[in-house]
Structure 1
Amino acid sequence: MASSMLNGAEGLKLTGMRSPHGLGSMNSTLHGKPLSKMGLTPFNLRKDAKFVAPKCSLSSSRPASQPRFIQHKKEAFWFYRFLSIVYDHVINPGHWTEDMRDEALKPADLYSPRLKVVDVGGGTGFTTLGIVKHVDPKNVTIIDQSPHQLAKARQKEPLKECTIMEGDAEDLPFPTDSFDRYISAGSIEYWPEPQRGIREAYRVLRQGGVACVIGPVYPTFWLSRFFADMWMLFPKEEEYIEWFKNAGFKDVQLKRIGPKWYRGVRRHGLIMGCSVTGVKRQPGDSPLQLGPKAEDVERPVNPFSFLLRFVLGSIAATYFVLVPIYMWIKDQITPKGMPI
């Protein structure tokens, strides 16, 4: 599968995807502001074309079916046991700012306080804080596998009336056709089977409901690619599109996001790099049928293997904590208007 990263991806087009009511379009401006000034890169949309991407050497990246070191539920559980302590203060300022969050949520069309919304992989509730700006907290459910992350969410006053529960993104404990909106930010990168998780998004939505998945995008810089393949899943943009379409979603759209100081350049990788939306057109389960889950969390693991994956994955994660610091410094010393 060809890469669709920013460097060398000028020919990338997302087409044949009509915008549903309220979802907006991915043209060259957003509310009168050039996307290049907001850390975004525009796509070209045409009604009669199809999704294409330039071919390049990045097609040899590690497939999603081969999980990275922290792309296992047990490793991710313990990883967030420690990261939850500093998540809001370390990860968010560099990769998931309030401006990014609010822009990424716009395509989800949170137009009414009466919408019933589920925030899957809601963690500390940072994304949920953006959701409850528009939706009554009583109608919002936060679910995550990490009790340590959820403990942080429970401490946030605006989320006191939300339903907060533990659960698995690949096996949601909700009936089919339960929600008007499905939001998931910063979670897909830890799913052993991302296709299964997006299939679940389709299942729990009501007809006409919108799923919005926000996550990282595979970097182009060789060192960033190396650490990405050690740490967690950094999908390619066309992989997101494929997973949504396979699950049965229509009107699939992708919006690029990034901190202002990246100046639209994401070659080093962003933990939050795009917002992908799709509309459920038919009630009921997803037309995509899958077998049993590949990963059984109840199965005993080899302690040495677990520890090795955990340590190596954590070391790789440190690289991506340093990246935004490097990009911020570069933004400060490089004259405005020049590419960085």
Structure 2
Amino acid sequence: MAMASSAYAPAGGVGAHARPGRPRFIQHKKEAFWFYRFLSIVYDHVINPGHWTEDMRDDALQPADLYSRKLRVVDVGGGTGFTTLGIVKHVDPENVTLLDQSPHQLEKAKQKDALKGVTIMEGDAEDLPFPTDTFDRYVSAGSIEYWPDPQRGIKEAYRVLRIGGVACLIGPVYPTFWLSRFFADMWMLFPKEEEYIEWFKRAGFKDVKLKRIGPKWYRGVRRHGLIMGCSVTGVKREHGDSPLQLGPKAEDVSKPVNPITFLFRFLMGTICAAYYVLVPIYMWIKDQIVPKGMPI
């Protein structure tokens, strides 16, 4: 997963007016770096089983239309390579690039035999180190929630795609249950479905579509939000950069951070993250107890 900041959607993004002033304690890039320094150790075994299963991954990637092994694909914020494993089922590893800001997550990806041949590199989702019109497919799963400016990241997705290329962005959905909403607002970015669509259209994408996804035990109930809740796709119909113009980046990681502030945000963010580790356990137990066919 790519890393983060506290700003929601500056530079005129739709989210800047929808839910302003959300703290998102953990979501500064420096805190997130250390957050994933430790989470990377157990990410594949603790986070994925509850929020991002192989069935969900394959379902979410279906709209990306990975129809040829010769397609050039970039997986942005790919972390430990879980989503990349789904991509290389359809595309030759030599044609795939995995990019993330966390070297600790990338080390896990490098240890996976199926990803041998994949180009694995550090980089920023909001400032991709690739020329314009480079890739046939752009995939990003579980990364947008860590972007300081989601609109900027989606604009970059448009830029690096070739004409006719497809962007597939997989991410969380905003909860409606009050307690889940509180922890979501404190922790990281949980966009609403309409925000995804607006960001894609503003970046210049056409044929924008949203597909809902979720673990089988959720039974369609989305009030707690989902860390992986939808797959959004759009097509680039013209050569070149996005027509959208944005101001300066939302976060300058070179600026010093007060160590007390850093520690407070890191601890608060970790507590909020723990809530979203408990939610799938709670929902799984309900799924086992409540009779099939009844809402949970």
The alignment's TM-score, normalised by the length of structure 2, stands at 0.93
How many residue pairs get matched? 282
Tell me the CA shift for residue 77 of structure 1: 1.1
Q: Is the 8 A contact 1:186 1:216 kept in 2?
A: yes
In the alignment, structure 1 residue 197 sits paired with structure 2 residue 153: yes
Residue 229 of structure 2: SS of its match in structure 1? strand
Tell me the CA shift for residue 328 of structure 1: 0.4
Instruction: Give the corresponding residue for 1:300.
Output: 256
Instruction: Give the corresponding residue for 2:75.
Output: 119
Q: Identify which of 262, 287, 290 aligns with 1:331.
A: 287
Q: Is the 8 A contact 1:248 1:280 kept in 2?
A: yes
In the alignment, structure 1 residue 235 sits paired with structure 2 residue 204: no
Distance 1:100 1:136 in 2: 21
Residue 234 of structure 1: SS of its match in structure 2? coil
Q: Identify which of 232, 257, 273 aligns with 2:229.
A: 273
Cα pair distance change 1:319/1:129, threshold 3 Å: same
Distance 1:93 1:105 in 2: 18
Q: Is the 8 A contact 2:172 2:230 kept in 1?
A: yes
Q: Is the 8 A contact 2:23 2:186 kept in 1?
A: no
Residue 75 of structure 1 aligns to which amino acid in structure 2? E
Pairwise CA RMSD of aligned residues? 1.5
Instruction: Give the corresponding residue for 1:18.
Output: none
Instruction: Give the corresponding residue for 1:250.
Output: 206
Q: Is the 8 A contact 1:67 1:233 kept in 2?
A: no
Tell me the CA shift for residue 72 of structure 1: 1.7
Tell me the CA shift for residue 71 of structure 1: 2.1
Tell me the CA shift for residue 65 of structure 1: 7.6
Distance 1:281 1:222 in 2: 41
Q: Identify which of 108, 115, 132 aligns with 1:159.
A: 115
Q: Is the 8 A contact 2:75 2:138 kept in 1?
A: yes
Q: Is the 8 A contact 1:70 1:190 kept in 2?
A: no
Distance 2:187 2:207 in 1: 31
Instruction: Give the corresponding residue for 1:49.
Output: none
Note the alpha carbon deviations across 1:104-138, whole angstroms, 9 max, x for none: 00000000000000000000000000000000000
Moved more, 177-186 or 60-69: 60-69
Residue 271 of structure 1: SS of its match in structure 2? strand
Q: How many percent identity over aligned positions?
A: 84
Tell me the CA shift for residue 66 of structure 1: 5.1
* 1:80-229 matches, cutoff 5 A: 80-229=36-185
Distance 2:18 2:148 in 1: 13
Moved more, 94-103 or 296-305: 296-305
Q: Is the 8 A contact 2:73 2:95 kept in 1?
A: yes
Structure 2 gap segments, 5+ residues each: 1-14
Residue 47 of structure 2: SS of its match in structure 1? helix
Distance 1:117 1:151 in 2: 20
Tell me the CA shift for residue 63 of structure 1: 3.1
Distance 1:218 1:70 in 2: 17
In the alignment, structure 1 residue 285 sits paired with structure 2 residue 231: no
Distance 1:127 1:144 in 2: 12
Residue 247 of structure 2: SS of its match in structure 1? coil
Residue 147 of structure 2 aligns to which amino acid in structure 1? W
Residue 184 of structure 1 aligns to which amino acid in structure 2? S
Residue 298 of structure 1: SS of its match in structure 2? coil
Instruction: Give the corresponding residue for 1:42.
Output: none
Rg bigger for which structure?
1
Q: Is the 8 A contact 1:198 1:244 kept in 2?
A: yes
Residue 88 of structure 1 aligns to which amino acid in structure 2? D
Cα pair distance change 1:64/1:245, threshold 3 Å: farther
Tell me the CA shift for residue 60 of structure 1: 11
Residue 210 of structure 1 aligns to which amino acid in structure 2? V
